[in-house]
Amino acid sequence: MSGLIAIVIAGLGTYTSRALFILALANRRIPHGVSVAMEYVGPSVLAALVVALLTAPGQGGLPGAAELVALLVATLLAWKTRNHLLTLALAMLVFWALGALL
């Protein structure tokens, strides 16, 4: 139930972020400070999210070596190839291979 409520609130908030200027503020500009902050929202939130996932309660604090090496591989591949599918496939292969070896 709380999951459904969370989805509905997130949905309303998301719609508002898409509609705000189109429906209500067509003649306004985004304040400079806000647009600068938004540039940094993506990298900051998503990086924080990766760490939050790796240090999830019940996983026992530090992530294992297989996870860390696989994410390092993912970082390099994403940077060099900009290909989601390739990055996902090779990082998972590294994760499985190291998991089997270690």
Partner 1 sequence: MTSTRQTVRRGIIDALPLFIPAIPFAFVLGVTILHAPLSALVGWSSSWVIYGGASQLTLITLLSDGAAVAAAVMAALIVNARHLMYSAALAPAFQQQPAWFRWVGSYFLIDQVFALCVLRKHLPPEEFRAYYLATGLTFWLLWCAATGLAIIIGPTIPSEWGLGFTVPVMFTALVVMGIDRWPKAAAALIAAAVTFLAADLPHRSGLLLGAAAGIVFGLLYEGSRK
Question: Which one of 60, 65, 88, 98 is in contact with partner 1 (CB under 8 A)?
Answer: 88
Contacts 24+ apart (CB under 8 A), 80-83: none
Near partner 1 in 9-68, by CB under 8 A: 9-11, 13-15, 17-23, 25-26, 28-30, 33-57, 61, 67
Cβ contact 77:83 at 8 Å: yes
Axis-axis angle for helices 84-101, 65-81 (nearest 10): 160
Residues that bind partner 1 (CB under 8 A): 2-11, 13-15, 17-23, 25-26, 28-30, 33-57, 61, 67, 70-71, 74-75, 77-79, 82-85, 87-88, 91-92, 95-96, 99
